[in-house]
Homo-oligomer: A and B are copies of this chain.
């Protein structure tokens, strides 16, 4: 299993599955004019509004190089507002606009469509999620240990 031929069965599977899911979201989110990463940010804000860029980055494992332009696009679309915090001028607070809050209604149908497309039963879904979480943790720990 250490050959260059079989090596990537899992890694490539992961890479392919991730792109497939993203491309499904592309179609499903077309109505909302959101990309998948933008949708993730909106999910985080619907969950808890008024977050620092840093907090969003920690939750989604994305850095400012990705989030800054993404948040500007969401601001351009009128979904969020970016305001400097008064007590700490370094940090920027991201808040939903009324339009951003309202978009949550339109997003209600998304999960069930995605769920239907995945066609996995509850047990397999749970098992997979756990495996993925452990995989991410292992891989990140290993990467940090060697670099």
Contacts and interface: CB of A to CB of B under 8 A. Distances in A.
Interface string A9-29: 111111111111111110100
Contacts of A136: 13, 16-17, 20
Contact of A117 (B5, B114, B139): B139
Nearest to A1: B115
Interface string A125-146: 1011101111110111011001
Interface in A36-94: 36, 40, 43, 46-47, 61
12 contacts: A1-B111, A1-B115, A5-B47, A7-B110, A10-B132, A14-B132, A17-B132, A27-B143, A117-B139, A120-B138, A124-B131, A128-B128
